[in-house]
C-alpha cells in the first residue's frame, strides 16, 4: 500500500482470526475487491506460521454441538452453532484440515449436576442437536473407564479441530480467490465520509496508511467494540474481557488416566468479577445472568490431535476462570492445584504431579491463557449493521462457540452484506 496516495477498497474486513478468515473466504466466493487487515504480524498464510496473541491461537479447538445455548436468551448462538458444526466438518473433510469427531460426555457427580444435565438435554433437543443421549454410570464406564459419574449426557457430534490450521486454510483459499491480506497492520482511526469511510492503519514499523473504503466488516474480536466506536461513538455494546487459564497432562503416562473423548462436567455458573464458581437460585439467574454472573462449561478435559490426525498424548484441562482482566493480559495466575481440584471429582485417577510442570506441581501455574470476548450486557453474539452507518457490519461478543460457528457466522454476515452492497 502507498502512504502518499489515497487508495480505494470496496470491502474492508478488520480482524484476521478464524471468524474474519471465514468471512473473507465466504465473501470471496462471490465478491471482489476485499481486503482483510490483521494486527498480528503472523496471520495465517505462511507455511509453519504461528498466529499471534488472539482468540484463535489460544482456542482449545473443541467443535461444539450446540448444547448450551437457549433459543430465547441466545438465538444466534443456538442456531449458528448447530449449523456451524455441520459446516465445519464438511469444510475440514473437503480441504484436509486436521479434525476428529471424538464425541463428548457431560458428566454429573451429584443431584445438582444431574439437574443441569437434564436442562442441557432439553436445550439440545430444542436446538435440533443430533446424536444426544442420557447415559447411566455403567454405560459411561464402557465408553470411558477412567471417568466417574452418576449420570452423563452423550454428544456424538462434538469433536476437536486445529483452529489455527482451519484459519490458515480459509485465508489461503481467500487469497486464491483474490482477497488481499495485510498483516501486522492495526486499524487506529476510522472517519465516516459521506457514504464511505476514511481509514488509518499503522504497521509494526509505525508507518501510517490512509485509505478509503465503502464497506467495513468489524471482526476485531477483543477490540471490536473499540473499532465500532471509532465510527459511532454512541455504539452501545462493550466487550467485558474474561481470562481463562489452561493446564495439561499426558494421557499415555498411565493407563488409568487415558481417555479418548471430550469430558465435561455439568455446566456451572460463575461470578464474572472473580471467576468464583457458584450455584445460584433461579431468581438470581433471571436477575443477574449476563450481568454479574455467567455460565461456564466448567473445567474439562480435551484431547489433542497429532500430526496424523490421531489422538495425541497431551490432554488440555480448561478453563479455570480468573475473572475480569485487561484486553491483552495473557499471564498465568492460577496454580496447578486448582486445575486438579476442578477435574478430580469426575477424573479421580489424575494426580497433581501428572500435570505438565516445571518441576514443582505445588507451586507451578497453568501453561497458557486465553481471553473471552463476551459483552457486558448480554449472552448472545451481536452481528448487525450499525444503526447510524449501515455499511458498517459489527460482530461483537464473538466468544464461544464462535470458532465452531465461524462458517455459519460468515454465511449470516454474507446475507447482511448482500443487502447493503
Of 49-63, 74-88, 289-303, 349-363, where does mean pLDDT reach its minimum? 49-63
Mean pLDDT for the stretch of residues 76-103: 97
DSSP assignment string, 270-310:
EETTT--EE---HHHHHHHBTTTEEEE--SEEEEEE-TTSS
**pLDDT, greater one: 361 or 166:** 166
**pLDDT, greater one: 174 or 52:** 174
Looking at the predicted structure, is the pLDDT value of residue 10 above 50? Answer: yes
Helix (H) or strand (E) holding 218: strand 208-218
- Nearest-angstrom CA–CA distance, 152 and 119: 12
Contact 249, 356 (CB under 8 A): yes
C-alpha distances in Å from residue 131, one per residue of 17, 101, 332: 30, 12, 37
Q: Which three cell numbers stand for residue 177?
A: 480467490
State pLDDT tens for residues 110-161. 998 999 999 999 999 999 999 999 999 999 999 999 999 999 999 999 999 9
Give percent of the chain above pLDDT 70.
96
State pLDDT tens for residues 192-206. 999 999 999 999 899
pLDDT at 221: 94
Q: Measured between alpha carbons, how far apart are the two ends of the chain, in Å?
A: 24
pLDDT at 372: 81
State pLDDT tens for residues 39-60. 987 554 444 444 445 678 778 8
Degrees (nearest 5) of the Cα angle 353, 356, 358?
90
State pLDDT tens for residues 379-420. 899 999 999 999 999 999 999 999 999 999 999 999 999 999
pLDDT at 284: 87
Number of C-alpha atoms within 13 angstroms, CB side, residue 326?
4
Of 19-23, 182-186, 240-244, 369-373, where does mean pLDDT reach its minimum? 369-373
Query: pTM of this prediction?
Result: 0.92
Q: Which residues on adjacent β-strands are paired with residue 182?
A: 37
- Nearest-angstrom CA–CA distance, 213 and 164: 28
Looking at the predicted structure, is the pLDDT value of residue 354 above 80? Answer: yes
| C-alpha closest to that of 297 among 129, 64, 103 | 64
pLDDT at 357: 85
Q: Is 73 helix (H, G, I), strand (E, B) or coil?
A: coil
Amino acid at each position: 500500500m502507498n502512504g502518499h496516495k489515497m487508495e480505494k477498497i470496496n470491502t474492508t474486513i478488520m480482524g484476521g482470526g478464524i471468524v474474519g478468515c471465514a468471512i473473507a473466504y465466504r465473501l470471496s466466493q462471490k465478491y471482489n475487491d476485499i481486503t482483510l487487515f490483521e494486527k498480528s504480524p503472523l496471520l495465517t498464510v505462511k507455511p509453519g506460521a504461528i498466529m499471534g496473541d488472539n482468540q484463535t491461537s489460544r482456542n482449545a479447538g473443541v467443535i461444539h454441538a450446540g448444547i448450551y445455548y437457549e433459543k430465547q436468551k441466545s438465538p444466534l448462538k443456538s442456531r449458528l452453532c448447530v449449523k456451524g458444526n455441520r459446516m465445519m466438518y464438511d469444510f475440514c473433510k473437503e480441504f484436509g484440515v486436521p479434525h476428529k469427531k471424538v464425541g463428548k460426555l457431560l458428566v454429573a457427580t451429584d443431584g445438582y449436576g444431574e439437574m443441569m444435565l437434564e436442562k442441557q438435554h432439553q436445550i439440545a433437543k430444542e436446538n435440533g442437536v443430533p446424536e444426544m443421549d442420557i447415559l447411566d454410570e455403567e454405560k459411561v464406564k464402557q465408553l470411558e473407564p477412567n471417568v466417574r459419574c452418576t449420570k452423563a449426557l452423550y454428544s456424538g457430534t462434538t469433536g476437536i479441530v486445529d483452529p489455527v490450521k482451519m484459519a490458515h486454510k480459509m485465508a489461503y483459499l481467500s487469497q486464491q480467490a483474490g482477497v488481499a491480506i495485510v498483516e501486522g497492520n492495526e486499524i487506529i482511526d476510522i472517519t465516516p465520509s459521506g457514504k464511505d469511510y476514511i481509514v488509518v492503519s499503522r504497521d509494526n514499523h509505525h508507518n501510517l496508511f490512509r485509505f478509503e473504503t465503502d464497506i467495513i466488516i468489524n471482526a476485531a474480536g477483543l477490540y471490536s467494540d473499540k473499532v465500532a466506536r471509532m465510527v459511532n461513538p454512541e455504539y452501545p455494546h462493550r466487550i467485558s474481557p474474561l481470562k481463562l487459564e489452561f493446564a495439561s497432562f499426558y494421557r499415555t503416562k498411565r493407563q488409568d488416566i487415558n481417555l479418548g473423548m471430550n469430558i465435561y462436567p455439568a455446566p456451572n455458573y460463575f461470578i464474572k468479577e472473580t471467576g468464583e464458581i457458584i450455584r445460584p437460585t433461579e431468581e438470581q439467574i433471571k436477575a443477574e445472568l449476563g450481568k454479574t454472573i455467567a455460565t461456564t462449561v466448567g473445567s474439562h478435559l480435551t484431547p489433542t490431535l497429532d500430526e496424523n490426525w490421531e489422538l495425541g498424548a497431551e490432554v488440555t484441562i480448561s478453563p479455570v476462570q480468573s475473572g475480569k482482566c485487561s484486553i491483552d493480559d495473557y499471564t498465568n495466575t492460577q496454580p496447578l492445584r486448582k486445575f486438579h481440584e476442578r477435574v478430580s471429582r469426575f477424573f479421580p485417577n489424575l494426580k497433581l504431579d501428572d500435570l505438565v510442570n516445571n518441576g514443582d506441581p505445588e507451586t507451578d501455574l497453568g501453561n497458557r491463557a486465553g481471553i473471552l470476548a463476551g459483552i457486558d450486557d448480554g449472552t448472545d453474539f451481536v452481528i448487525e449493521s450499525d444503526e447510524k452507518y449501515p455499511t458498517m457490519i459489527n460482530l461483537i461478543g464473538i466468544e464461544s462457540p464462535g470458532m465452531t460457528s465461524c462458517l455459519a457466522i460468515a454465511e449470516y454476515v454474507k446475507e447482511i452484506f448482500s443487502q447493503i452492497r
